[in-house]
Structure 1
């Protein structure tokens, strides 16, 4: 009897184990559903579904799993067309991603499976350039993008790809010089660049261990380095210089294996090795002496210096999300994005970002790890409780003189403290809590306090006493984007074009974080220029997020001129409605006009209705640009900016792109432009406040100098 029970228990255990592990991770399922819906021809994708399903348990075509996670996607040579979707970043366990030999087109998605080791998208019709998210894929070993229609220059994005062994960019239309970060490809063995339009020299490849190289049919100049002539190299169809090539710089090619064709007797190698060993020993001895000397000197220094060091060690980085830390340390604007860790001078906390000294062994891998570690810890940080009496004192009992504005769900006040600290207090209308469960406000506080992003205004506290419910945020002296665009006086310089694009990109990333990183997704419902605050460096901080519950209860129009056509009532809002509202903000940045302006002629009073028909007309577009720019803008950048707007403000929500694709388009716009942060700051109206921070900014910029 006991034996039979054991057998029955074993059968049941095996059955339930299979049931548990056959259920695929929900994020993986969602990402594959989006991918399936993005394909145009999908008859060969047996088992796949447009929503739901169990890829691992039901053996979807081309899908391999480990337990409940999708680990391999192989859809090669299936005649697929269309695109790959926009949720590939959710496939965090995928190590092999192969969609080669299909008919896929459009841009390669900005986000790819982040931990992939092997990616093959060759023999398709992809356009534009290599997405910058590749720069963060530190586990990548092979990347094949050959035989596509890629164009433009490669950005300097290869610093972290130290495991990359094979890179194929052949048979595209890529231009420009080879990026200097190629020198960081310390594992590279095979490189295929043939049939492109690359220019300049190939000297940077001397610093790689490559032993199979094809650079045929490009526009390379200079000499073929002698050290590269000894490997398996193909180099015809270029404009090489004649005559013997100059000697290679000392110290290069030191990572090359013994089979690279090097010559010279063993005695020479031994002698060289002994010489290097002797030098190394001498250097180590000298370092030991210096360490002993400075250690003794440090012990005799004043004790307050030691305390200052300890305080500095306790200071932390700004609360970035782990995803944004890995994707935002790039492009011309990301110097600015990282600087958002330097909070407003009026912020209650002082954030200290020290320059990081790079070394060949650690580099930015250690920096990224430390930042991500902090981001993980920060999820447990909760907002601070403020007493009603303290807030009454700080706001002069909520005096009209301290009123900053009135929104759809309450009033906003400035709270000033004796120590100089300034906060913003959002006092929510008590009528919105009628009939609501008693714990509703506390649940909202907990939810909002978990949101951490460089372009989102951080919740620092709350108050829930005597029927008063208030949210407390950091204060930004520069005010809102609405004030900069529509309320500037004659003594204020306008926002430069570069700054406007930077504000659009930062705001889009904030919305992307709410829509696609937060789980469940956070619907904003009230995106408008007055809810986009600007910090000391004019970086955007999206506010009024996480309050959709209250917005749904109000009968007011949440944002005159910002509402999507489908939003006849607050409950009709969707993620695509947020995209529409963001498109209106971009229109404000482009034209300098308000969404609704009764002072204009009747045909021009509604900004979207007036502007949309002209967004693809270059002549009309030049007349639409904000006159405050005085013609100081690049026409191509304005045209691309207008193209993105046109996508966002389409009447039908299903035709609007997800916000992640908007981010992707803005990133590409930035990569094509030459953005100068110093110029932006110098021309902006609050440059006097910036000058005192230049030294700190120069130090913090070193964080992204890689």
Structure 2
């Protein structure tokens, strides 16, 4: 029996050894994440004959793979220059944990430059290959980059404005491509740049953005730059500019106070008139030459080219049209036009008032008897007297029913715009003219409007008139502005019984049908974390949306403006706020059909009610937003937004930045900080997996009152939300589940 068991053990051992010898994977010293990244790179390069490289497993550091240099268990350099390597670069290069040098120069690598590049990279050389497309905007995130070589490729398009954070860059080579356009203004921020090669492109404009850089080697040959060349650039030791049509002529401006006359107006000296004579007027119309064609009446030069100046004699025997008569006639015509305009304005005012009265009488006659047929929409004058029609909320999508003990849900409404603020104010706006007295809410009822066919009975809203909103907002006074946004200002409104509202005055141009369709779609967005629409106004070409008032303002104010409020937001409250914002996006992305992309999620859009519950504003209003650059979403915009791509995944990225604000208490973009720390996401992302750095990043106002395990899990959620590649970001429902486990 013992011999049988011994034989069995030896058999298992032999089988294990055989299997181990046939599998290339080894439990070596190399970081497994680096192993996976270099395996993917090897596959996308077309599996070239590189010594030791494998498409699965292996130990690059322990086995000494060709061109691979390691520091302990981490790959820090990959140098495979001039090895006739083809294929393309992997989109998973960002998975390298500590790599600093990637030298793929002088090969046959094609395709586009990947947008996902490791944040730790310092030296990236892709020159001498066959890369096509444009330079990716995501290079702006590589704050440690010191050497970037993209020369001798097939790159097209303009140089993107990506250099604000690249303060460590000392060498930049974009030569021998097909680049067009002007040099971006952010190049002036490259305060460490020594070498810049731009030769053999089709770049235009001037070199003014380069004049204050510490350059020692500048090559701009064979481009289309114009001049003049900034004098400071002429002092660069190695400055090459041949083949570029610079305009080297510098026009010196005349001394102050001296304006040389144009050549055509140089007249011979005219002898002065006797002092006792009045100033003679110019003759009009001008004299004619022999052919009957008049000369230039303004220069005093006829077609013959000889300057003449004909004046009337003091005796009055001159021409009829004198200067005094012309002035008198012009003044008379102006007075007549002014009087006519005043008369016309008075006539229109009287006519409008009379028509307004007729419209009011006709309206009273045509409104059905409310005692016989009550309207499904209450009017503003009845607020406080007639209860609003019950609106039954659906399940919120997370298994929780918003209805409690059969009570009616409390209506929450959207505070459209950028949230409530107490800081800067816009310049005073001209208030709307007050309507006639007989349209005030205490004398004539507000008009009742029904939505287009197809809306159910629960999709109702209060309809306001301009008159009532003027009364509630004190004629849209500047002191009542509580928010400013790209869609318009938000005004604080107070009803007679003391109820507060927020009135959004839209600046977007819409027709009546477009506006009512907007209202009909937004009012259906009913969820505990999305502010509901309360009412609207559509009169006199004015489009206004009315929302309930959130007394605690926005998350932006709570974190960055109101220090007392910031201290009240404990760690647990911050996690709940992140969960509330995530639930709002989950409703928009996964419950609404078709899905709704917010496109403008910021901490200023996350409003806080009296119980510090989240109410996300601006939901469903994305199509009203004007065209924007990423500067208008500074700090919040996902990389793909630079190319106009707004998706659910770009919303997830913006949500990640909002959560990063909750973690650090810092603004998403702060120009007052050092260059490498101005963009919160770019500064924080490389440190989210370093526990020591993470503890230094936490908002100091928390005073260390947070569990370390919870801090680490929250940082992991943020890191996954801020992946550069949209496909690597998790769906928002996954974030909701992760946050739920933290509470």
Q: TM-score interval w.r.t. the shorter chain?
A: 0.3 to 0.5
Kindly name which structure, 1 or 2, has the bigger radius of gyration based on alpha carbons. Answer: 2
Q: TM-score, normalised by structure 2?
A: 0.40
Q: TM-score, normalised by structure 1?
A: 0.42
Which protein, 1 or 2, shows the higher relative CO under an 8 Å CA cutoff with sep ≥ 6?
1
- Which has the larger share of helix? 1
